[in-house]
Every structure is written in C-alpha cells, then in structure tokens.
Amino acid sequence: MSRDRSKACALAILLALLDASILFAAPASNEFDAHGVRIHYLIEGTGESVVLVHGLDSSARINWATPGTMDALAKTHEVIAIDLPGYGQSEKPAGDGADGEQWIEDILLLLDHLKIRKAHMVGYSMGGIVVLKLIEEHPDRVLSGALGGMGWLRDGGVLQRIWAHLRSPAARGVSRLALTEEQVRSIRTPVIVISGENDKSRRLYVAPLQKARREWRVVDIPGANHLTCIYHERFIDELVTWIEGNRQA
C-alpha cells in the first residue's frame, strides 16, 4: 500500500471515530406510554436527575439539546428533556383536557417510568409556567426549580384570560396552570429566575414574581431577549451553577 493511500485510510478511520464519538455523546432518544399517549424524551448523563421542560411551539431538542444545555448539565447529572404531548416527537392527544394540568401528570409519569423519586425542575417560557405549578403542587418530587424567560402567571389576572382565549388548545391549557399569590408564597422549594434583560416578559411575568418572592434570585442575561436568552452561554453557566449549588445527593 502506498504512503498516500495509507494516509487516506488513516484519515478515514479518524473521521469515522470522530463521527462515532459525536454520535455516542448525543442525548439518547426514548419514549414511554403515558396512559395511551406516546411521549418522547431525550436523556443524557448519570447522577442526580434534572428534568427540562421546553417552551411554546418548541421541543426538547430545540430548547435544550441544540444550545448545549444538556451536554453541560450531563457532565455531573442525569438530564432528561421531555417533549410535551403534541410537541417535538411526542404524540398529540385529542381534546383540551390533554394540555395544561395533564402535562404535570405526564412529567410525574416520566419520573415514575425512570424510577426517579425527586429531580431538579427547569422550564423555559411556557415550560416555566408548567414547572412552577408542578413545584407548588408536588414539592415532594422536586429538589430545586429554575424558571427561564418566565415568572408568575397570576390566577385571575389579565394574562391568564389572554392564554384562555388563544386559538391553540395547548395554549388555552396553559391558563389552567395559573397560581394565586398565596400559592406562590407557600412554595418552599429553592427557585431561581433567569431572564434576558431585553425580554418583554420580564415586566409581565418576572416583575410580579419579584414582588411576591423578593428572596428568589433573578439573573438578567445582558443583551438577551425572550428568543435568544436560552442560547446564551451565560444562561447555561447560571443554570449549571444553580443545579450544582442545590445538589442533594
């Protein structure tokens, strides 16, 4: 075999190994049955569990795998990113009742499926509304909470009524996740809020939450808005630091 051909073969093997390493480093794609609805999720890493919940019109892969958030957290944790029913690769159930509060049940079913007793809960945008409601209703299943680009959807408020009248059944279901001030004040789980400084939802959702829970830390990501915040390195760094600081195991 000539020297040039040997070099070409060596290069081909090296590229194949690199491709394989990328493949094996990627989050594993899985699914489970939630009372007849096939729900997809990504999972990566080992250790204390972190559950990631995506935003409206997004998915586990778009919000969490693509920006590198899963990779960063998976260095020290087991990271699970769920596709809520009707999003990503999960099945779309029929009827309004399959959205909103049912999502919380689906996340708990996923924990049970994976035999996870408690996990850190992270939600972005709409996912933050889901996570805060889950924390309030099921504190026994949560180690810590992180809200990205989101704060408090007030029960009885204008924003709840807006969600309730949106065209999408999933969006209307979000309105059923609103919390009263008493419920927000009752939360004992540690929670952080991470939001872009140019995110218009700060005034609508985060500012009211700051008034109700002044002791909760709010981090502003410089230059970020609602769409870009989740892709900022600072967002990922803050999230990793928060999860590490609330490690229980």
Instruction: Determine the CATH number of domain 28-245.
Output: 3.40.50.1820
Backbone angles phi, psi at 247, to 5 degrees: -65, 135
Q: Which of 12-21, 45-54, 94-103 has the lowest mean pLDDT?
A: 12-21
Q: State pTM to two decimals.
A: 0.88
State the pairing for strand pair 77-82/142-148: unpaired
Using the predicted structure, report yes or no on whether residue 13 has a pLDDT greater than 70: no
* Predicted local confidence at residue 114, as pLDDT: 98
Could you tell me the pLDDT band of residue 162, with boundaries at 50, 70 and 90?
A: very high
Asked if residues 134 and 146 have their Cβ atoms less than 8 Å apart, the reply is: no
- Residue boundaries of the structural domains of the chain: 28-245
* pLDDT surpasses 70 at 209: yes
Task: Please compute the mean of the pLDDT values over residues 182-198 and round it to a whole number.
Answer: 98
- The per-residue pLDDT for 4 is 52
The structure tokens listed for 183 are 């419920």
Residue 42 near residue 81, CB atoms below 8 Å:
yes
Mean pLDDT across the chain = 90
The answer on pLDDT for 161 being more than 90 is: yes
User: What's the confidence (pLDDT) of residue 15?
Assistant: 39
Contact 57, 166 (CB under 8 A): no
Closest CA to 162 of 152, 171, 151: 171
Query: Does residue 68 carry a pLDDT above 50?
Result: yes
* pLDDT for the residue numbered 25: 57
pLDDT tens track for 231-240: 999 999 999 9
* 12-21, 80-89, 112-121, 210-219: range with lowest mean pLDDT: 12-21
